[in-house]
Amino acid sequence: MSEVFIGRQPVLDRYMNVFAYDLQFYQGLTPSSEATLHATHALITKIQEAIGFQSIVGKHTAMVHLPPQMIRKEFLPRFDALHPMMLEVSKGVIGNAQVLRSLKELKQLGSSIVLGEFIDAKTSAKLASISDFVKIDADGKDGVALKRMIDAFHQQGIKVIAQKVETEAQFQILKTLGFDYFQGYFFNSPTIINGKKLSGNRLILLQLLAKVNEPSTRFQELSEMISRDVALSYKLLEAINNPAAMVPIRVESISDALKYLGLNRLKFWVNTLMLSNMEGVPKELLTSSLARAKFCERLAADTEYAKEKESFFLVGLFSNLGAFFKVPLEDVVMEMPLSNEIKAALVQRYGAMGEALSVVEQVEKLNASSSQIKFEQLDVAELSERFMLANAWAQQAIL
């Protein structure tokens, strides 16, 4: 069977809120081959039956890019009625009457059309005229020409998505030009001013975060720390009683929480809530951190590192701390009471945990040339599947 794997990237609006998730299906063989189409359909069926596509994108809309031959109602992934699909197509479909008929039918059923990688040419312009969104790779393009192009699309009622946005600095420039949406992991790479110190509130939060994760911190000490913060106590109990936490009874106190969760799981919820309450941080950063944590944990559990899965989880969870605190990651990590192995993994990508972190960063940015990514015996298709499961878990964990 042809190797097929799926990637997922967030598309954010001008306020860094998630607008949609882009689901791309990549094929190891020529997209038109029968073997590849069969493998893509099999993968869709497998994900549908195992976890469902809606769980991967949560409450958000999915932008789906499939081979043209599969742009038919019976082949598409299923999502709930509140979140119609966005169908991404390339300019190559312009001469395919069957695909154009399917697009018209699907649009009447509520789907939107996204033209991927717009090129300023007649064929792209013709397809853009029937699209609701267009994607533009702004890298290396003249700002004046981009502004003119964006204004022309807006006059037609078409929204414009900037592709491959990797830094906050890029995001700010593209936002000024008038782009509506932005695809990439720029929220993981905020602008950092050299020599910038942590503000008072963030320094206190970092100190609390460090204390929570200190190996010697016991339940009584943790309970007292949480109890001193009434808002944190309330939110912690609210989160634990969420059905996604799968606690068998209603938890009324921190001591009950320990009984049913255990110290390590309780620490996880405290970590998550502290990070989620940080001001000026996009929610997607927490979702990404949780997905990384669960993905790294799964890598450990499915390989020879099963006994270290809690450390793998922490490496994934803390891999974005620099972005949370808007200082270099190394500065944050050095303030944390973490093992030397975890610190080396976070800062230098050293050891098996560092390799897992490098792998998750590559899987986040999957493209057609990513077929050689591996971790131990796991190939790119198996890694992609685990990444989708981790994202589904993260969407549930932050509800």
- Is 178 a domain residue? yes
Classified as helix, coil or strand, 12 is: strand
Residues 67 and 204 in one domain: no
Share of the chain above pLDDT 90, in %: 41
Rg (CA), the chain: 22
- Given a cut of 80, is residue 277 above it in pLDDT? no
- Is 149 a domain residue? yes
- Residue 196 confidence (pLDDT): 59
Domain boundary among the residues 163, 188, 213 is at: 188
Residue with tokens 């993994």: 345
Classified as helix, coil or strand, 23 is: strand
pTM of the shown model: 0.88
For residues 13-38, average pLDDT: 81
Non-local CB neighbours of 144 within 8 Å, separated by 6+ positions: none
For residues 324-350, average pLDDT: 89
Q: What residues make up the domain containing 243?
A: 200-397
Residues 166 and 36 in one domain: yes
- Residue 317 confidence (pLDDT): 92
Long-range contacts of 335-339 (CB under 8 A, 24+ apart): 335/206, 335/207, 335/210, 336/206, 336/209, 336/210, 336/213, 337/210, 337/211, 337/213, 337/214, 337/215, 338/213, 338/314, 339/311
Alpha-carbon gap, residue 318 to 229, rounded angstroms:
22
What is the identity of the amino acid at 42?
A
- Residue 182 confidence (pLDDT): 96
Provide the total of helices (H) and of strands (E) in the chain, helices listed first.
18, 8
For residues 347-351, average pLDDT: 94
Residues 148 and 216 in one domain: no
**pLDDT tier, 28 (very low <50, low <70, confident <90, very high otherwise):** low
Tens-digit pLDDT profile for residues 87-113 = 998 877 877 788 888 988 998 888 999
Tens-digit pLDDT profile for residues 109-155 = 889 999 987 876 676 777 778 889 999 998 888 889 899 999 999 99
Tens-digit pLDDT profile for residues 182-221 = 998 888 877 665 555 666 667 777 877 887 787 777 777 7
Q: Which two tokens stand for residue 251?
A: 């938890």
Q: Is 398 exposed, middle or buried (0-12, 13-18, 19+ CB in 10 A)?
A: middle
Residues 100 and 65 in one domain: yes
Angle (CA) 298 302 306, round 5° = 85
Share of the chain above pLDDT 70, in %: 93
- Is 337 a domain residue? yes
- Residue 177 confidence (pLDDT): 95
- Residue 388 confidence (pLDDT): 94
For residues 327-346, average pLDDT: 89
**pLDDT tier, 1 (very low <50, low <70, confident <90, very high otherwise):** very low
Give me the CATH number covering residue 151. Answer: 3.20.20.450
Domain boundary among the residues 128, 162, 188 is at: 188
Give me the CATH number covering residue 386. Answer: 1.10.3210.10
Alpha-carbon gap, residue 358 to 288, rounded angstroms:
14
Q: Which two tokens stand for residue 357?
A: 């972190």
Out of 66-70, 73-77, 175-179, 261-265, the most confident range is 175-179
Residues 146 and 243 in one domain: no
- Is 335 a domain residue? yes
Residues 312 and 266 in one domain: yes
Q: Is 259 exposed, middle or buried (0-12, 13-18, 19+ CB in 10 A)?
A: middle
**Closest by alpha carbon to 315, among 359, 277, 261, 370?**
359
Residues 64 and 94 in one domain: yes
Counting the structural domains of the chain, the total is 2
For residues 257-273, average pLDDT: 78
- Is 193 a domain residue? no
For residues 63-82, average pLDDT: 88
Residues 64 and 208 in one domain: no
Residues 20 and 153 in one domain: yes
- Residue 242 confidence (pLDDT): 73
Alpha-carbon gap, residue 65 to 56, rounded angstroms:
15
Alpha-carbon gap, residue 350 to 14, rounded angstroms:
36
Tens-digit pLDDT profile for residues 355-399 = 999 999 999 988 777 888 999 999 998 999 999 999 999 998 875
Alpha-carbon gap, residue 340 to 351, rounded angstroms:
11
Residues 235 and 355 in one domain: yes
Residues 279 and 351 in one domain: yes
For residues 247-261, average pLDDT: 75
- Is 93 a domain residue? yes
- Is 194 a domain residue? no
For residues 299 and 386, is the Cβ–Cβ distance under 8 A?
Answer: yes
Q: Residue 346 — left, alpha, or beta (φ > 0 → left; ψ -120 to 50 → alpha)? A: alpha
For residues 290 and 393, is the Cβ–Cβ distance under 8 A?
Answer: yes
- Residue 387 confidence (pLDDT): 95
**Averaged pLDDT of the chain:** 85
Cα end-to-end span (Å), the chain: 37
Domain boundary among the residues 144, 166, 188 is at: 188
- Is 380 a domain residue? yes
- Residue 352 confidence (pLDDT): 95
For residues 127 and 115, is the Cβ–Cβ distance under 8 A?
Answer: yes
**Closest by alpha carbon to 235, among 271, 183, 203?**
271
Residues 206 and 348 in one domain: yes
